[in-house]
Amino acid sequence: MKKATPKDALELFELQKKVFTPLYEKYEDHETSPVLQTFERFTERLGTGDYFKIYQDDLLAGSVHVYKKFPGVMRLHMINILEDFQGKGIAQKVMSRLETMYPEASSWELDTILEEKRNCYLYEKMGYILTVDRWKVNDKMTLVHYVKNSDLKRMKAL
């Protein structure tokens, strides 16, 4: 992973659109899809938190955006892995690495599409717990909220 800079904005904006276009077409999400995000909004977001470019064998494989929501709470806002690199454990490695990069975070959170079972499986495998928070975007798609609390994880281990 390499921290992104403002010079990377257009490349990462295009990558985001490429990753999310199949989901946009599948779920017809005209409300929340990153595909519809403007470049101006994207560049604003690039300035919040940390954006990283993800590499696999020296090739750009994706990106990830994280930011501090509250003291001790980090938000995994968006992880984008290009289709050719999916299913190779890259997202798992990135998530584990992020946790070591932000040791001050006692909890992490993220939102994802409930109908994307592979994503839900990944997050649960990584220790995230599905909450009751849900947002029905349309008849095809529901967003759900996951949290990972390191204090809770330590308590379960005892």
Q: What is the pLDDT of residue 153?
A: 46
In terms of Cβ atoms closer than 10 Å to its own Cβ (0-12, 13-18, 19+), residue 157 is exposed
Q: Class for domain 2-157, per CATH?
A: alpha beta
Is the distance from CB of 43 to CB of 108 less than 8 angstroms? Answer: no
On average, the pLDDT of the chain sits at 92
Predicted TM-score of the model (pTM): 0.88
Q: What is the pLDDT of residues 86-103, one digit of tens each?
A: 999 999 999 999 999 999
Is the distance from CB of 109 to CB of 69 less than 8 angstroms? Answer: yes
Query: Looking at per-residue confidence, does 32 or 145 come out higher?
Result: 145
Q: What is the pLDDT of residue 45?
A: 87
Model confidence at 31, pLDDT cuts 50, 70, 90, reads confident
User: How many Å apart are CA 25 and CA 23, to the nearest integer?
Assistant: 5
Q: What is the pLDDT of residues 113-140, one digit of tens each?
A: 999 999 999 999 999 999 999 999 999 9
Q: What is the pLDDT of residue 47?
A: 85
Greatest pairwise CA separation for the chain in angstroms = 48
Q: What is the pLDDT of residue 141?
A: 96
